[in-house]
A and B are shown apart, each in its own frame.
Chain A
């Protein structure tokens, strides 16, 4: 694992992978969304309005996966003190925030006609909103603290502490009375969805995973290169100073 954790080697390998990830993202996104939005049959109760799940469910799922990823690499960062782990978590945060915002927005749009309200303070919706604020808080730590080592350490702690919210989001619909329905995909006795609707949803979820990997790799590359540029600038400034002294 240390082999891949070398930033230079990471850059080389990830640059080979990202174009392929990008192509796969595009293909699966087009297939999943076209199948879900145009081909899949209408729901017996909601008609076409249910089709928002082909965006809502993958976005909500990824909002949790992304934070989970940040928590895991933050543990690596705290224990092994590897800079690439810090950069990975930092790179993931805005992507996760976008997934969370998309999940909240699409859910709200569906909630108005179906439930009768845009928003309700039930356990699922509230904990998901808390997740959005955790992402913002995490990103704010990186922006607010100038000392990079200290910023990395505090950000990692925020990511870890916030991870307690993940099982709460996931199981909120089972632990408490909520307006939000329980999970359709992973429930006892198989999925609550007809296969004609389930397949396009699974492909959409795959597309969101691929999107996450693609953008994450891009963002880590950018962060590494930015670090390298900063290092070069500092060396340049050093050399200028030396020349000035001579």
Chain B
């Protein structure tokens, strides 16, 4: 399997090895550059801080992601409209949404909202998607963790 650089076949193998290595390096660099350039369009959503920073014009279709603030969830008397706040720890955005919520939607949970930007009032979401975190735990374990106060709420974690 070794390269015998002295034989003709060995030299050709070495040449092919270098060809593979250089081609792959150039390709990886090219793809890396493209992905870096497209970073904004590849990311699925903006967080509340990014939304404030960027001063996006009203009426733009965007996705907003963050954690639902504890105790901010209110159901309207019509039973269909929901009000809640979404935060990334630094900034908070108020949201209204009319429609059905996914199973995983709850306070403290990550959500991704689709809707149009609106600097005057709350963010009017046309679609609400719930984000699941990477933690899986049996119910009993979670209950005992909560009882002992060991469990850190999702709000305190840095990422969603």
Contacts and interface: CB of A to CB of B under 8 A. Distances in A.
Given A2-B1, A116-B102, A122-B44, A43 B129 contact: no
B7 interface: no
B156 interface: no
A160 B26 CA distance: 13
A80 interface: yes
Interface of B is mostly: mixed
B44 A179 contact: yes
Interface stretch (B13-21, B52-60, B69-77, B116-124): B13-21
Contacts of A46: 103-104, 132
B155 to A, nearest CB: 15
A194 interface: yes
A184 B31 contact: no
Interface string A157-200: 00011001000100000011111011110010000111011000
A161 B20 CA distance: 10
A179 B24 CA distance: 30
Interface string A22-43: 0000000000000000000111
A32 to B, nearest CB: 16
A145 interface: no
A117 B42 CA distance: 18
Contacts of B65: 177
A50 B136 contact: yes
B103 A114 contact: yes
B134 A49 contact: no
B24 A114 contact: no
B148 to A, nearest CB: 15
Given A177-B65, A179-B44, A79 B20 contact: yes
Most B CB within 10 A of own CB, among A44, A50, A121, A193: A44
B128 A116 contact: yes
B20 A78 contact: yes
Interface in B6-64: 13, 16-17, 20, 24, 27-28, 31, 35, 39, 42-47
A182 B134 contact: yes
B136 A115 contact: no
A197 B138 contact: yes
Interface of A: 1-2, 41-46, 49-50, 53, 75, 78-80, 113-117, 120-123, 160-161, 164, 168, 175-179, 181-184, 187, 192-194, 196-197
27 contacts: A42-B139, A43-B136, A43-B137, A44-B143, A45-B104, A46-B104, A46-B132, A78-B20, A114-B102, A114-B130, A115-B129, A115-B130, A122-B44, A123-B44, A160-B20, A161-B27, A176-B44, A178-B43, A179-B44, A179-B112, A181-B134, A182-B134, A183-B134, A184-B134, A192-B135, A194-B138, A197-B138
- The 5 A-B residue pairs whose C-beta atoms are closest, nearest first, are A116-B102, A41-B138, A44-B142, A177-B43, A192-B134
